Amino acid sequence: MDFKPENFFIGITEFFSVLLPGALLTWFFINKIQDVRFLNELKNSLPQNDAVKAAAFFLVSYIAGHLIYVFASLLDKWLYSPLRNIIFQRNNDYAFKTASQIKKENYVNDRGLLEDIFKAEKLKKNKKVFEDTDEFKDMQEVLNTYKWGLHYLSVKYPQLINDVKRLEADSKFFRSLVISFLIIAIYYFTQYSGKMGLLMLAIAALSFYRYGDLRYKSTSLVYELIVTIQHLN
């Protein structure tokens, strides 16, 4: 089997952003289910050996992790995007602005291509071509600077993408931790343990800041690499 570094880091991303947060939440609630009759009976019905316990823990953690990941991905649009320029932006985003200009120079027909696709889709639905400007903006997002830069590096310079993948894995890990600790905080608040609930909220807030910081660094690294390659060429 041919080993590729990028495949390894995809696995690492899933491990950090899905399995570990799911394991954290599963481990926290595993001793809480005795109060729920159905779950307690299900737990006691399983063979009590280490292999089965480990397999069940892994399966529940994996499923919980994916559910956490779905909700955590909403943080990108709902919290990170509005707060990006307020909290995380550095150096006036010069790397982003420069990379965006390089993208326009290398992909000058992207808007025309999107307009053709958008027009065809609207005609299929018997709608006016440009009646929904928000929908067209969503289509433009398909070819935003970051995604274009990521694909460009993957195709032209795959050896440079590994550092970006590491930062992405770390940022998604902390992004999922935000949801995990929020769920734990809600549990403590409903159990009238306000101090522990506040502590979990504080950890969730710190996790969000770390996630935003790492996300900004990963996108900035892509822009800086694009700018450097353009300069060297």
User: Contact, 84 vs 216, CB < 8 A?
Assistant: yes
Q: Which residues of 63-91 are buried (b: 16+ CB within 10 A; e: fewer)?
A: ebbbebbeebeebbeebbeeebeeebeee
Residues 6+ apart with CB under 8 A from 224: 95
Coil, helix or strand at residue 90: coil
20 has a pLDDT exceeding 90:
yes
pTM of the model: 0.79
Eight-state DSSP code of residue 192: T
Coil, helix or strand at residue 132: coil
pLDDT of residue 10: 44
Residue pLDDT, tens place only, 167-198: 999 999 999 999 999 999 999 999 878 999 99
At 46, phi and psi to the nearest 5? -75, 145
Instruction: Say how far apart CA 180 and CA 72 lie, in whole Å.
Output: 9
Out of 11-15, 42-46, 136-140, 145-149, least confident range: 136-140
At 144, phi and psi to the nearest 5? -70, 170
Q: How many domains does the chain have?
A: 1
pLDDT of residue 143: 65
Confidence of residue 124 (pLDDT cuts 50, 70, 90): low
What is the residue range of 225's domain? Answer: 5-232
Instruction: Say how far apart CA 138 and CA 118 lie, in whole Å.
Output: 11
Residues 6+ apart with CB under 8 A from 27: 57
Give percent of the chain above pLDDT 70. Answer: 73
Residue pLDDT, tens place only, 81-101: 999 999 999 888 999 999 988
Residues 6+ apart with CB under 8 A from 156: 229
